[in-house]
Structure 1
Amino acid sequence: MASKGGSNGKSKPADGKSKPADGKPKTGKKEVKKETGLGLTYKKDENFGEWYSEVVVNSEMIEYYDISGCYILRPWSISIWEILHDFFDPEIKKMNIKNAYFPLFVSDAVLQKEKDHIEGFAPEVAWVTKSGKTDLEVPIAVRPTSETVMYPYYSKWIRGHRDLPLKLNQWCNVVRWEFSNPTPFIRSREFLWQEGHTAFATKEEADQEVLEILELYRRVYEEYLAVPVIKGKKSELEKFAGGLYTTSVEAFIPNTGRGIQGATSHCLGQNFAKMFQINFENENREKAMVWQNSWAYSTRTIGVMVMVHGDDKGLVLPPRVASVQAIVIPVPYKDADTQGIFSACSSTVSLLNAAGLRVEADLRDNYSPGWKYSHWEMKGVSLRIEIGPKDLANKQVRVVRRDNGSKQDIPVDNLIEEIKKILDNVHESMFEKAKKKRDECIQKINTWDEFIAALNEKKMILAPWCDEEEVEKDVKARTKGDMGAAKTLCTPFDQPELPEGTLCFASGKTAKKWTYWGRSY
């Protein structure tokens, strides 16, 4: 079943191959590190899974914890989550969605009330069975999602049409006890997310909100994380269990040839209203059921960003989510005016921070400039600003971009304007590079043989489909293997023309739509 803000089906490690159950990188023969001792031991194109595990640790985004599948999110990653929060939260408040908080625990009786919905989560539900050494009379579940926690109270709070719409969101953690291949950010046993749950008097209102929220999710990925995504609708087989339909933003990881569900916005229809008796008296004093939505994105966003942009030097952070957009490094030579250089570094930081940029200086005297370069490259900081004797004399700074390594000297008088311009260009360049690489992996096909060839080449496949569930199940069965089965990723809203008489690639029946297929996380 589709999980909001996540994926569905069996989990896959970062590279889609088998991996230790704790998600930690393997030990073994390694490549020679850089002289600084900061280099990665694995290359992105050669061993993606180990590269990813190494990057998220060495860049100080996470630390492994002593419970498998749980990770410490360090300030370097939490700052990204906070920036995304600071974009998304005001946007949903403009839509008059209010924040609330519901308990972490849910009773078994309530959890089982909507069996179709909870069935897909059942193997992942964590249970509290003891208080101290005493067995609880009735075990209590830790929320894997909050429909069953929240909706009994929606039934209590909604009585008449004046109580609608009811639009709540919560920022919280959830627990899904993954048993295979936990991967930091991508699939962990505990993760952070926001989850919105809304109720309306009409389906039209619900439909409208589904797409408004989905557009916000596109903006999270494209305008902040510089990751291109495709907006579309999930198949009946892949939609959120218990819902009416599911929309999603889908990203793609070229190195592994896998799609990844970035965030989802569901129309739940009236299924939960029926189960939890969420009724209201309409304007005609008739009893009616509400129409509901739920939607979420999670810390998975951070993992997708790392996978798409990272390179063999470490992270490459899009500047709009980087807690440090530029790092200022003094480069003193023998007999240089060291104090003058350090003062220039500090004044540069003050100048840029006062202009609303996020800038720090690395003035540590126990590390060489070369070591600092490697350290901040590993952490993915967008710009490095170097100040040496020549820069001091010429009243300039040298700016080095993390994304492409280009360098330019900028007069101090123009610094604010130029740095802002460069940061905007870095974001656009990162997005265009990622989009070009993704687009090169998309293959449009018409036949089964073309489909299998494209799948073996790790492509994201756009294929004509008859839109029949049994055909999708058959494709899954026929492509099952060590790398996982192929499935539908989404039917894009932006549909190419479907010529009359086009046949489904898998069944030979009349095709009804173009749909993206592939392996996924």
Structure 2
Amino acid sequence: MEEVQEQSKNALKKAQKQAKAAAAKAEKATNVPIVGGKGQKKDDSKEIIGITVSKEGHFAQWYQDVVIKAELVEYYHEISGFYILRPGAMYIWNEIRAWFQERIAAMGVEETSFPMFLSSKSLEKEKEHVEGFAPELAWVTKAGDKDLEIPVAVRPTSEAVMYPYYAKWIRSHRDLPLRLNQWNSVVRWEAKQTTPFLRAREFLWQEGHTAHLTEQLAETEVLQILDLYAGVYEQLLAVPVVKGRKTEAEKFAGGYWTSTCEGYIPTNGRGIQGATSHALGQNFSKMFEITVEDHDKNKVHVWQNSWGLSTRVIGVMVMIHGDDKGLVLPPRVSKYQAILIPVGLTAKMSAEDKAAHMKKVDGLYDDLKKAGVRSHVDDREGYTPGFKFADWELKGVPLRLEFGPKDAANSVVSYARRDTGAKGTIPIAGLATEVPKLLDTIQSDMYNKADEAYKSHRLVLTDWDKVVPALDARNVVLIPFCEVEACEDRIKELTKSENVEVGPDGQKMPSMGMKSLCIPFDQPEGLVKGETKCLMPECKALAKSWTMFGRSY
């Protein structure tokens, strides 16, 4: 027994030595403090808290590190593919929710809540729509120890749950428009490797479902909602998007046509769908017999829309703005817009001097609060300022404010921007006005940086031989396209590449061909309808539009 205990001790010492060496190596590589390292409590020496890989070199691992270590999510170990959204993520989502809800309420959209289960009978009514979801449906077959007579599915989306009741509630043109939205979770049992925010088996979203008397009224709303989705990305998250229409091959199954916001990830050059607003036409109203009498007492099927935005937006934001130190949050969605850190409090200072200094810090906090700045004082004991700096950089707080005795003597507060690292000072007397201005500058600078990256990698091409090299150089491309589904399938085949990359979900994404992202509403010049040929070499048809293609998620 003593021999076993001695072996265990030696093994433990060896493991501790190896862990310490690995931690020191990681700290040196990333310049980020380590738990148990210099400036930290010794009894907390369990894990590296900083980002240990580069965004450019190891994008998949970098993304996983950031969302976990910046405390946005935690893995739900009981069932794979599910994630716990921590307060940091929920704050961002709730800011988006409040912004969007205020605007759709002003449009006359009301909030509702429907059950999460749907019957197989309802699903049978919309076979074309459900066909795409069939492999991802999660079924409940038992209640307690008894088998259910009729299994029920957990909603992947809510058309089949809601529309039987639209048919019940809508009788006359006076009942229109009916505009309902719900904030809820849906379950899609992804077979592919899951990853936080981008591909999860359960995710939060909003789904709006509306009914209108005419096609024109419905179409107007589709584009209004799309503008709001673009606003979420561009105004809140500082993420540029391209608005457009999906091709027939990529539109919502069972829908009439789909509008979309398409984003771009500079690190790997891939497009990513941001949000969609669907014109359903009369397809679903015919499936579910949603009819009204119009002004002339004719029986007509209503025109419907559906539109949705999910927590995927957070993942897009992380991938675009984050860096090798962690998150970089836009001020408008950051829980703390400024972190206030007392510095220069040495062991030689008297308790009275420290208390007097902290009173001044509290006064600065009060000034920021009155100015509407969401701020926090990091007065944790036992941690060096350097560790605190790195800790809040990891969590992406837009602005760091430092205040020490020298700052107090000069009547200034020192600052450091998270997005650029730029440093400077702000007079204490102007703190309440200058900090909000600086936060606005950070917000706009973050958007402009991302927008420039997107624009410079959005290439208009009329030479097919340049397409694959452009994709390999991390671009998306706009090409003349006939919009025929068979042609789009062939384009995917012809644009496969030998290059191998790993995405944020850990998947290798090598020979993936490009697919259509959208037909942008803002069309480049140069395409002459009836004269310009589709760019795909084997296609003999004429182009209908400039269509944006890219490798994508």
Normalising to structure 1: TM-score of the pair? 0.93
TM-align CA RMSD: 1.3
CA contact (8 A) 2:371 2:433 kept: no
One-letter amino acid of the counterpart of residue 397, structure 2: V
- 1:111 Cα shift? 1.4
Could you tell me which residue of structure 2 aligns to residue 421 of structure 1? Answer: 437
Counterparts of 1:398-437 in structure 2, within 5 Å, are: 398-437=414-453
- 1:480 Cα shift? 4.6
One-letter amino acid of the counterpart of residue 522, structure 2: D
Could you tell me which residue of structure 2 aligns to residue 515 of structure 1? Answer: 547
Could you tell me which residue of structure 1 aligns to residue 26 of structure 2? Answer: 32
The answer to whether structure 1 residue 48 and structure 2 residue 80 are counterparts is no
- 1:453 Cα shift? 1.7
Structure 2 distance, partners of 1:456, 1:398, is: 43
CA contact (8 A) 1:332 1:341 kept: no
Could you tell me which residue of structure 2 aligns to residue 466 of structure 1? Answer: 482
Helix, strand or coil: the match of 1:159? coil
CA contact (8 A) 2:480 2:527 kept: no
Structure 2 distance, partners of 1:370, 1:250, is: 39
CA contact (8 A) 1:332 1:338 kept: no
Structure 1 distance, partners of 2:318, 2:527, is: 39
Counterparts of 1:387-406 in structure 2, within 5 Å, are: 387-406=403-422
Helix, strand or coil: the match of 1:381? coil
Counterparts of 1:117-156 in structure 2, within 5 Å, are: 117-156=129-168
- 1:485 Cα shift? 2.5
- 1:35 Cα shift? 5.8
- In structure 2, the gaps of 5 or more residues are 1-21, 35-48, 498-509
The answer to whether structure 1 residue 64 and structure 2 residue 75 are counterparts is yes
- 1:159 Cα shift? 0.3
CA 1:366/1:483 → structure 2, altered by over 3 Å: closer, same or farther? Answer: farther
Structure 2 distance, partners of 1:121, 1:327, is: 44
CA contact (8 A) 2:263 2:271 kept: yes
- 1:249 Cα shift? 0.4
One-letter amino acid of the counterpart of residue 55, structure 1: V
* Higher percent of residues as helix: 2
CA deviations on 1:429-473 (whole Å, 9 max, x unpaired) are 100111111222212211321112212222111111112111111
- 1:36 Cα shift? 1.4
Instruction: Decide which moves more: 132-141 or 143-152.
Output: 132-141
CA contact (8 A) 2:32 2:51 kept: no
Identity of matched residues, %: 52
CA contact (8 A) 2:239 2:320 kept: yes
Counterparts of 1:455-494 in structure 2, within 5 Å, are: 455-480=471-496, 482-494=510-522
Structure 1 distance, partners of 2:161, 2:549, is: 34
The answer to whether structure 1 residue 310 and structure 2 residue 338 are counterparts is no
Counterparts of 1:362-377 in structure 2, within 5 Å, are: 362-377=378-393
Name the larger-Rg structure.
2
CA contact (8 A) 2:491 2:514 kept: yes
One-letter amino acid of the counterpart of residue 94, structure 2: E
CA deviations on 1:386-444 (whole Å, 9 max, x unpaired) are 00011112222111110011111111111011001100000111001111112222122
Helix, strand or coil: the match of 1:347? helix
Instruction: Decide which moves more: 432-441 or 237-246.
Output: 432-441
One-letter amino acid of the counterpart of residue 75, structure 1: P
Structure 1 distance, partners of 2:533, 2:115, is: 50
Structure 1 distance, partners of 2:325, 2:410, is: 31
CA contact (8 A) 2:527 2:545 kept: no
Structure 1 distance, partners of 2:540, 2:368, is: 61
Q: How many residues align?
A: 493
Structure 2 distance, partners of 1:494, 1:515, is: 11
CA contact (8 A) 1:498 1:513 kept: no
Could you tell me which residue of structure 2 aligns to residue 74 of structure 1? Answer: 86
Counterparts of 1:226-241 in structure 2, within 5 Å, are: 226-241=238-253
Structure 1 distance, partners of 2:209, 2:134, is: 21
Could you tell me which residue of structure 1 aligns to residue 279 of structure 2? Answer: 267
Could you tell me which residue of structure 1 aligns to residue 535 of structure 2? Answer: 505
CA contact (8 A) 2:222 2:277 kept: yes
Could you tell me which residue of structure 1 aligns to residue 42 of structure 2? Answer: none
- 1:324 Cα shift? 0.5
Helix, strand or coil: the match of 2:103? helix
- In structure 1, the gaps of 5 or more residues are 1-28
CA deviations on 1:118-163 (whole Å, 9 max, x unpaired) are 0000101111111122221111100000001000000000000100
Instruction: Decide which moves more: 393-402 or 30-39.
Output: 30-39
Could you tell me which residue of structure 1 aligns to residue 368 of structure 2? Answer: 352
CA deviations on 1:246-303 (whole Å, 9 max, x unpaired) are 0000000011211000000000000000000000011111101100000010000000
Could you tell me which residue of structure 2 aligns to residue 25 of structure 1? Answer: none
Instruction: Decide which moves more: 481-490 or 221-230.
Output: 481-490
CA contact (8 A) 1:309 1:316 kept: yes
User: Of 196, 199, 210, which residue of structure 1 is paired with 2:222?
Assistant: 210
